[in-house]
Amino acid sequence: MAPISVSAFLSEQMTDEIINTISLSDYSLILIPGFVQWDTSQLEKKYSIKIRKGPEFASDIPTIIKNIDIIELSNEIPANRLYEASGRSLYHQIVKDAFLQAEKSLDQSTFYINQNRSNIIIGGGLPPPIIAEIVNSTEKSDENILKKAKHYIKSGASIIDIGCISNKPNPERVKKIISFLREKFEVLLSVDSMDPGEILAAAEAGIDLVLSVDLGNYGDLLSLPRDLTLVILPTNVKQGYFPKNPSERVKNLLDLTKILLKLGFTKLIADPLLESPIAPGISISLETYFLYNMTVSKGNNKELRLPLFFGVSNVVELVDVDSIGINGLLAAIAIELNVGVLFTVEHSAKLMNGVRELKECVKLCYLSRTKKVPPINIGIDYFSAKGKINPISLDIDEKRSIVVKEPNKGYLMDEKGYFKIYVNHYAGLIYVLFFSNQHELKSSLMGQDAESLSKKILELKLTTDIYHANYIGRELRMAEFCLLSGKPYLQDE
């Protein structure tokens, strides 16, 4: 009814004129497009009827209408954003309630990792916290370790893992890493090592969680504090024993659980071992997790039930597919299996932002399980490269359009100079360096979004060449996308 083609152009005066032609007695609510930039309160007061902002995209209207009873629509905030906020608010309330319930029923399957340092409980139907590993920590500089840890914590990791190097133990370096991480961050720490020397050194330095104890090394670790949290494996790495059969893995885990409980250890996490797809294969791994859950739900085995460890990085790191979808699927599987803790890394460029992806996907899937619905249209989503909104379809007269088939490969150097653009994922910034054609750095800018940086470049008149400005805008938009998605940014590619 409005004389516009873009919903954001709908003005308050236009809306007033349209409403004035409608018989309002037939309605109890008027929804206007979420993209409008003005507050609807004045019109609502004038006509004595709710006039609220609907979603920004028309394709979201059915979802909003379906959930209209659980959203308090706003005069200022688009409905789709309110719906997302309602999903996150519900998630936090559900987690709070689950935490209070878990606190009342602490046992060997539900416990604090270290109550003196953190209120994180694993098990008890709670969403699994994330352990993020700093790979090969013992050979990294203090500065790199601190930078990685800060990034992981900001991304949503609850536990920072000090990854050691197999067959190259360095107990003293492990102790030093624990010391300076403790000084900088209030976060739980774990150590990933099979070497008794490194594990004992980590325990002496006050580590919160040990990865990993198996049938081959537990005998060398009997001096560990009995309330230290241990992840146990169905293996004997010392003898090169790595069972493939699910039943054998489950039996080994239960046997080691009995031994360690009898020795007085009180906080154990079972790792049935999640393996990479195809080779050696993920199916047997998932069968092992399922079989473990079935076994510890019966008879005397109930007393042996432990929280489960789920090594997400064993899958996502070994598939050349964008990590966000794999993280989403693995989060759903983990929630179905009632996994206690997730383990992941961001070791390679393709895994950048993997911790954040996994964290958001856990929220989506945990809320889904609580509501007993598939993880779709529940107020939380995590799209990056794709989305659910269909683009507007326009009726274009192609016969009257100019067809551009080949790019203009001609290039004239801007007399003012040239730009170099970089993305720092850890700092969360885009850097723009402006050089003269004699390669002298003339100016540097940093920011987080393409529009602000582009406008500042024009404001400073670093370029007045429209072709160069077009190029800079295109590259900065790509840099912004890479910053948000975790994709590596390479200028001109």
Question: Tokens representing 6?
Answer: 């873009």
Digit-coded pLDDT (tens) for 88-121: 998 999 999 999 999 999 999 999 999 999 999 9
Q: Residue 391 has what pLDDT?
A: 64
Query: 309 or 83: whose pLDDT is higher?
Result: 309
Closest Cα to residue 295, out of 334, 248, 330? Answer: 248
Digit-coded pLDDT (tens) for 388-411: 766 666 677 888 888 888 777 677
* Residue 7: band (very low, low, confident or very high) from pLDDT cuts 50, 70, 90: confident
CA distance 70 to 68: 6
Count CA atoms within 13 Å of residue 289 on its CB side: 23
Q: Are 353 and 485 in contact (CB under 8 A)?
A: yes
Map out the domains of the chain as residue ranges: 7-86, 110-371, 409-485
Question: Tokens representing 393?
Answer: 């379809």
Digit-coded pLDDT (tens) for 36-87: 999 999 999 999 999 999 999 888 888 889 888 878 899 999 998 898 888 8
Domain at 110-371, CATH homologous superfamily: Dihydropteroate synthase-like (3.20.20.20)
CA distance 437 to 458: 18
**What is the overall mean pLDDT for the chain?**
93
Q: Residue 393 has what pLDDT?
A: 64
257-264 mean pLDDT: 98
Secondary structure, 3-state, 148-202 = HHHHHHHHCCCEEEEECCCCCCCHHHHHHHHHHHHHHCCCEEEEECCCHHHHHHH
**Looking at beta carbons, which pairs linking 163-169 to residues 24 or more positions away fall under 8 Å?**
163/133, 163/134, 163/135, 163/136, 163/137, 163/192, 163/345, 164/136, 164/137, 164/138, 164/191, 164/192, 164/193, 164/195, 164/198, 165/136, 165/138, 165/139, 166/194, 168/138, 169/193, 169/195, 169/197, 169/198
* Residue 313: band (very low, low, confident or very high) from pLDDT cuts 50, 70, 90: very high
Q: Is 22 helix (H, G, I), strand (E, B) or coil?
A: coil
Q: Residue 305 has what pLDDT?
A: 97
* Residue 2: band (very low, low, confident or very high) from pLDDT cuts 50, 70, 90: confident
353-376 mean pLDDT: 95
Query: 1 or 264: whose pLDDT is higher?
Result: 264
Closest Cα to residue 197, out of 182, 175, 228? Answer: 175
Q: Are 183 and 115 in contact (CB under 8 A)?
A: no
CA distance 472 to 430: 13
Residue type, 107: D
Digit-coded pLDDT (tens) for 188-218: 999 999 999 999 999 999 999 999 999 999 9
Packing angle between helix 283-295 and helix 246-262, nearest 10 degrees?
A: 50
Residue 420 to residues 118, 262, 417, 463, 489, Cα–Cα distance (Å): 44, 63, 10, 13, 12
